[in-house]
Amino acid sequence: MAKLEPLLGTMVNEIGAAANAALVLTGDKLGLYRALADGPINSAELAQKTATHERYVREWLSAQAASGYVSCDAAAGTFWLSPEQTAVFADEESPVLMTGGFYSLSAVFADEPRLTEAFKSGKGLGWGDRCNCLFCGVERFFRPGYKQHLVSDWLSALDGVIEKLERGAKVADVGCGHGASTLIMAQAFPNSQFVGYDFHDASIDHARRHGNGVANVRFETASAQNYAGTGFDLVTIFDAFHDMGDPEGAARHARNSLKSDGTLMLVEPMAGDTLSENLNPVGRVYYAFSTSVCVPCSLGQEVGAALGAQAGEKRLSEVIRQGGFSKVRRAAETPFNMVLEARL
């Protein structure tokens, strides 16, 4: 019992977290978190403010307070978001907004039956065959970090790249998805030209529709191994290299598409090189999504390398060098990201 009881306590927390994940989506979609950020309010006032039903809202608030997602005065029956809770749940400009991850979880649960079958067959699950919530969730989860770090921390850590971008460079953003990373760079460097490539037609359509009239960017459907164009000063791959069926082929094509003094920048999930180094809260999240999303995506493509989201710097660097790059270094990092710079 001394060993069983702590495990049961852990499982109670797990079930509570999983059950409340769906309620985070409800709160985000209905604007409940954003309304709570304005200050203390009771359930009736929140329901009126958000055009929702009070009884549902009252129970939702109780669940959120029990989870620590919402602050409350139980005696007064009022609820609000602290500045920290606002940053995580309600502020779309916050670098630590986390609600996007819950949309991806919705897709993971929706696709669970097919994943279970894939375990038996060994077949992959194509990116384009996943629940649509995944694509929006990935964009919303990664975009806050990109907005915070991409220009000021990551690009600036690369050798001579900022100067090229300010003068006017040619950039390929490979595996761009909905184009969040491409647009952030294009808006920061108006003298440069950017092309976002992705093999998923629907994501490219979304990127084109939401380009906000940015003149120095375009989006094209193409894989990482055969996108058009040469003479790029910079090729970027954001949180997509480990998902590719043929990452070595992607590195080789990036090498061939770059100028002789060009740079490949990879942003990958933070990971150590061994399992023991990744047995931590961040590794836990990435291993879970890797099992459900990343490995199936790779196995559904040519070669099916299945690097996984916790491949680590050593393995990633090996693949990049096999693709023809002679120099690879870790240029920057955050608790969630590893930024690798590769040169010819």
Residues 269 and 121 in one domain: yes
Q: How confident is the model at residue 132 (pLDDT cuts 50, 70, 90)?
A: confident
Residues 146 and 43 in one domain: no
For the cut 80, the answer to whether the pLDDT of residue 212 exceeds it is no
Residues 267 and 311 in one domain: yes
For the cut 80, the answer to whether the pLDDT of residue 142 exceeds it is yes
Residues 240 and 300 in one domain: yes
Q: Which of 200, 158, 154 is nearest to 175 (CA)?
A: 200
Residues 188 and 258 in one domain: yes
Q: Give residue-wise pLDDT tens across range 222-255.
A: 999 999 999 999 999 999 999 999 999 999 999 9
Domain that holds residue 19: 4-91
The structure's pTM equals 0.93
Residues 207 and 124 in one domain: yes
Q: Return the H-helix or E-strand segment holding 152.
A: none
Hunting for tokens 């384009």 — which residue is that? Answer: 128
For the cut 80, the answer to whether the pLDDT of residue 178 exceeds it is yes
Please report, for the domain that includes residue 297, its CATH number: 3.40.50.150
Q: Give residue-wise pLDDT tens across range 254-308.
A: 999 999 999 999 999 999 999 999 999 999 999 999 999 999 999 999 999 999 9
Residues 84 and 104 in one domain: no
Residues 113 and 60 in one domain: no
Percentage of residues of the chain with pLDDT beyond 90: 97
Residues 266 and 135 in one domain: yes
Please report, for the domain that includes residue 27, its CATH number: 1.10.10.10
Residues 144 and 237 in one domain: yes
Which one of 41, 64, 91 terminates a domain? 91
Which one of 91, 116, 143 terminates a domain? 91
Over residues 81-99, mean pLDDT: 95
What does residue 179 show for φ and ψ, rounded to 5 degrees?
A: 90, 15
Q: Domain count of the chain?
A: 2
Q: How confident is the model at residue 176 (pLDDT cuts 50, 70, 90)?
A: very high
Which one of 38, 68, 91 terminates a domain? 91
Residues 196 and 325 in one domain: yes
Q: For the residues of 270-327, what is the DSSP string, one character each?
A: ---SSTGGG-SHHHHHHHHHIIIIIHHHHHTSSS-----TT--HHHHHHHHHHTT-SE
**Number of other residues whose CB lies within 10 A of the CB of residue 291:** 15
Residues 59 and 33 in one domain: yes
β partners of residue 342:
264, 328
Question: Residue 197 class from Cβ within 10 Å (0-12 exposed, 13-18 middle, 19+ buried)?
Answer: buried
Over residues 90-110, mean pLDDT: 93
